[in-house]
């Protein structure tokens, strides 16, 4: 059987992106046993004679580390304790590199003392002035737990072996839900965190494990946008073009490789929109059962999105507008049966999914959800948090700056001993994003004059997922644009499809644009991936003063 060229291209895009997305996704090896220190509790380690400790690598477990480091030659004489430094961090499941002993003197003991009840450590290793490992002897039995997984200690901190940005919330919450611990992050519904917990329960708490499901979801998003474009524009070439655009976008690459829930949100929303389009395209004369299946599937995936993040409501708003217009145009009389199935699809099923997603939280004895009242109070807590999140942030940005990448969101940075620098910034591919501004406007104009249904749907979805932020007072970031991005990408495909239908010669614009997008992606790849490069290279990618990373 002969394989179609379009199938080969589809597989090339999918496989190439899959390989790249999994490349250095995260370490599969981190400490799995933790020790919780209470306030003033100490861990004491004996140093070999005449050694001068210089720095320490230690791992923070599922709670925040707050420690003071002391050096002494007599643990029974508190006056001999030389206070060296204190260390605290907002990062859990992360390695920390601490320099100390600035006077470069030999000592017999290193003492770690917690000054909060929450300090949770996973492993530690101490090095001398020449960066050679110092063999430690635990003074007591409880100190051994931080020396039992020494092969997990990396040479340097990086995104590859440690959590970064909002990974301090979601993998931690997944771990806490799994282990019936108090849940630190409860300001989003649980479904995304439950999905993150699946590979953690199998592989342990490692960067690879808590990023795995998001990365898979990012790969599936390519398949879904292909299917959406195929429904909207009919031709394989346009569907493959949409797939290539998403595969070459920086925000898509960055957001799907971090252990947060936004990838699940957008995957569910795109899948909901896919089945919604299938419903819209069904003629009114068709049997009811043909309309019911896509409606139910669209509502189910939208319910899953709402159970991940409340911003899914914006896509629901857009689909609701399209649904009402379509219904009024198709049906002159009230179709009660269809309306009932619509309510089932977009009200009852989403509510059921939302409640079911909370079952692990309800079973957690620390969360206090026992009845309808406490459940509603829990939801009110989510609303209050987001409505009152008005404190400024150096990387926040207003909604109208997102399409032109006014200010990227800086996720991570690290300086390495060989002089290179790694950074990750949440920002789009400028060639894609800037072009999409023009094509979105062109789609609006074309659809208004030509009364084009597909273009009008894209315009509605763009406006419904972007303009509501005008009315929101909380601090906002460019990643909030993530739910709008697929529709902006599809506007590029829409305009190109119109040009190709007008003159066949415009079909060559697709490979030309793909090559341009690829060139930009390669150029900004170190900024998207955290790949260590020279400081000079990163500096030359900062085209504007607000591009700080």
DSSP string, 55-88: EEEEEE-SS--EEEEEEES-TT-GGG-EEEEEEE
pLDDT at 44: 96
Q: Are strands 82-88 and 66-72 parallel, antiparallel or unpaired?
A: antiparallel
Distances (CA, A) of 294 to 249, 266, 273, 282, 300: 29, 18, 10, 10, 10
Confirm whether 29 is domain-assigned.
no
pLDDT digits 0-9 by tens, 446-504: 999 999 999 999 999 999 999 999 999 899 999 999 999 999 999 999 999 999 999 99
Instruction: Note the pLDDT of residue 391.
Output: 81
pLDDT band at residue 74 using 50, 70 and 90 as cut-offs: very high
Q: What is the residue range of 130's domain?
A: 35-152
Query: What pLDDT does 162 receive?
Result: 98
Q: In what order do the strands lie in the sheet with 42-46?
A: 82-88, 66-72, 109-114, 42-46, 137-138
DSSP one-letter string for 187-249: SS-SHHHHHHHHHHHHH-S-HHHHHHHHHHHHHHHHHHHHHHHHHHH--HHHHHHHHHHHHT-
- Report how many domains make up the chain: 1
Residue 228 has a pLDDT of: 98
Helix (H) / strand (E) element for 53: namely strand 53-60
Q: Quick one: tokens of 318?
A: 């857009």
Can you state the angle between helices 207-233 and 236-247, rounded to 10 degrees?
150
Rounded distance, CA 42 to CA 44, Å? 6
Residue 516 has pLDDT above 90, yes or no: yes
Query: What is d(CA 67, CA 87) in angstroms, rounded to the nearest whole number?
Result: 5
What pLDDT shows up at residue 2? 80
Q: What is the pLDDT of residues 93-147, one digit of tens each?
A: 999 999 998 889 999 999 999 999 999 999 999 999 999 999 999 999 999 999 9
Q: Which residues of 284-297 are buried (b: 16+ CB within 10 A; e: fewer)?
A: eeeeeeebbebbbb
CATH number of residue 91's parent domain: 2.60.120.260
pLDDT tier for residue 183 given thresholds of 50, 70 and 90: very high
Residue 143 domain-assigned? yes
191 φ, ψ (degrees, to nearest 5): -55, -45
Tell me the average pLDDT across 247-257.
98
Mapped onto helix, strand or coil, the DSSP state of residue 388 is: coil
Percent of the chain with pLDDT over 70: 100
Residue 22 has pLDDT above 90, yes or no: yes
Per the domain annotation, does 49 fall within a domain? Answer: yes
Nearest residue to 135 via CA among 150, 155, 145:
150
Residue 270: strand pairing partners: none
Strands 409-415 and 82-88: unpaired
pLDDT computed for residue 288 by the predictor: 92
Residue 82 lies in a domain: yes
**CA-wise closest residue to 246 among 452, 402, 469, 16:** 16
pLDDT of residue 276: 98
Residue 388's pLDDT is 87
Query: Distance between the two ends of the chain, CA-based, in angstroms?
Result: 51
Q: Residue 318 and residue 300: Cα distance in Å, rounded?
A: 16
Residue 101 lies in a domain: yes
- Tell me the average pLDDT across 51-80: 93
pLDDT 10s digits, 296-324: 999 999 999 999 999 999 999 999 999 99
Mean pLDDT of the chain: 96
Residue 440 lies in a domain: no
Residue 506 lies in a domain: no
Give me the pLDDT at residue 473, please.
87
| Sign of the alpha-carbon dihedral angle for 198, 203, 208, 212 | negative
Average pLDDT over residues 402-417: 96
Q: Is residue 260 part of a domain?
A: no
| CA separation for the pair 361, 355 (Å, rounded) | 10
Angstrom distance (rounded) from CA 111 to CA 138: 11
């Amino acid at each position: 059987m002969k394989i179609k060229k379009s199938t080969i291209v589809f597989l090339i895009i999918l496989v190439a992106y899959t390989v790249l997305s999994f490349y250095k996704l995260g370490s599969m090896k981190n400490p799995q046993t933790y020790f919780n220190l209470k306030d003033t509790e100490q861990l004491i380690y004996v140093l070999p004679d005449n050694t001068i400790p210089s720095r320490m690598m230690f791992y923070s477990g599922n709670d925040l580390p707050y420690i003071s480091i002391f050096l002494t030659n007599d643990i029974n004489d508190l006056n001999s304790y030389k206070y060296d430094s204190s260390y605290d961090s907002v990062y859990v499941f992360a390695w920390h590199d601490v320099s100390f002993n600035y006077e470069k003197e030999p000592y017999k003991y290193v003492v770690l003392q917690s000054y909060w009840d929450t300090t949770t450590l996973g492993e530690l290793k101490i090095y001398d002035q020449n960066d050679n490992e110092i063999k430690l002897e635990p003074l007591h039995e409880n100190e051994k737990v931080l020396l039992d997984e020494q092969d997990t200690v990396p040479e340097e901190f990086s995104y590859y072996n440690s959590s970064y940005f909002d990974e301090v919330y979601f993998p931690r919450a997944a771990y806490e839900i799994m282990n019936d611990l108090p849940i630190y992050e409860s300001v989003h519904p649980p479904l995304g965190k439950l999905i993150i917990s699946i590979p953690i329960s199998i592989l342990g708490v490692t960067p690879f494990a808590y990023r795995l499901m998001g990365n898979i979801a990012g790969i599936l998003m390519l398949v879904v946008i292909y299917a959406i474009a195929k429904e909207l524009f009919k031709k394989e070439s346009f569907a493959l073009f949409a797939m290539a655009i998403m595969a070459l976008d920086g925000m898509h690459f960055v957001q799907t490789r971090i252990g947060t829930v936004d990838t699940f949100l957008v995957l569910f929303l795109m899948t909901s929109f896919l089945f919604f389009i299938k419903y819209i395209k069904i003629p009114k004369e068709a049997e009811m059962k043909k309309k019911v299946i896509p409606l139910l599937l669209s509502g189910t995936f939208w319910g899953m999105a709402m159970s991940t993040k409340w911003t899914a409501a914006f896509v629901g708003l857009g689909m609701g507008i399209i649904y009402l217009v379509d219904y009024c145009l198709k049906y002159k009389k009230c179709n009660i049966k269809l309306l009932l199935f619509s309510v089932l699809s977009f009200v009852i099923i989403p509510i059921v999914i939302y409640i079911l997603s909370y079952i692990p939280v309800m079973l957690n004895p620390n969360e206090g959800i026992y009845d309808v009242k406490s459940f509603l109070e829990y939801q009110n807590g989510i609303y209050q948090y987001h409505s009152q999140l008005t404190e400024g942030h150096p990387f926040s940005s207003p909604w109208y700056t997102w399409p032109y990448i006014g200010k990227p969101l800086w996720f991570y940075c690290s300086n390495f001993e060989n002089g290179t620098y790694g950074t990750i910034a949440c920002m789009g591919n400028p060639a894609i994003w800037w072009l999409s501004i023009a094509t979105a406007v062109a789609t609006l104009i074309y659809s208004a004059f030509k009364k084009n249904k597909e273009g009008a749907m894209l315009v509605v979805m763009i406006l419904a997922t972007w303009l509501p932020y005008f009315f929101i007072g909380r601090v906002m970031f460019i990643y909030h644009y993530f739910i709008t991005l697929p529709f902006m990408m599809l506007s590029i495909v829409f305009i190109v499809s119109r040009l190709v239908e007008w003159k066949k010669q415009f079909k060559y614009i697709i490979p030309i644009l793909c090559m341009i997008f690829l060139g930009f992606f390669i150029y900004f790849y170190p900024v998207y991936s955290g790949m260590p490069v020279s400081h000079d290279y990163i500096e030359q990618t900062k085209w504007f003063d607000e591009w700080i990373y």
